[in-house]
Amino acid sequence: MVVVVRSIAPAAPRAYATQLFNRWRIGDATRNDGVLLFAALDDRAAEIVLGSGVDGDEQVAASEDVMQEVMVPRFRAGRPGTFSTAYDRCRKCRHITKASTTTTLQAATETSGGVVRVDQECAHCGHRSSFTRPTPRLSGSSSSSESYFSSDSSSGSSSSSSSGAARADAGR
């Protein structure tokens, strides 16, 4: 479940998200498989709370990756309310736990396209697949511009794991 609010000040984000998770009884009670992605936009804080049925090392690592690779950069870029996941739905088990890595087999140039190999693995069931796909030719550019996602390097962030949950506060 995803919950986005403006502010919870003066409450502590971790305590608030955990209370919300428990009060709303997120996930199946027998499997304790709930997951809460919580963001307080004006407080620039985000939490991921995992039920004890999904708080193994792999799931905690995945939640920490989401915090560091998705949430913190979005807060830094001033776009914290736009969420997406780095995972896709596994065709075998139907969980949204399939990760993909891409390896360049033939680099694209300005005169010809390239080829990449995509390796996929489901963190839930272990199902693996691999395929190749073409990439477009490189296009020359006569202008340079700063990336939309650039951020002030003085913005700080922290991440820690406690009781199967990841936490990060995006720097102000």
- Given this model, what pLDDT does residue 70 score? 80
- Given this model, what pLDDT does residue 165 score? 43
Predicted TM-score (pTM) of this structure: 0.49
- Given this model, what pLDDT does residue 83 score? 57
pLDDT digits (tens, 9 = 90+) for 125-148: 999 999 998 888 877 544 333 322
- Given this model, what pLDDT does residue 121 score? 93
Positions of the chain with pLDDT lower than 50, given as ranges: 141-172
- Given this model, what pLDDT does residue 78 score? 74
The full set of domains in the chain, from first to last, is 2-86+157-170 (3.10.310.50), 98-134 (no CATH)
- Given this model, what pLDDT does residue 47 score? 92
pLDDT digits (tens, 9 = 90+) for 76-97: 877 666 655 667 788 899 887 8
For every residue of 79-141, which 3-state class applies, written as one string? CCCCCCCCCECCCCCCCCCEEEEEEEEECCCCCCCEEEEEEEEECCCCCEEEEEEEECCCCCC
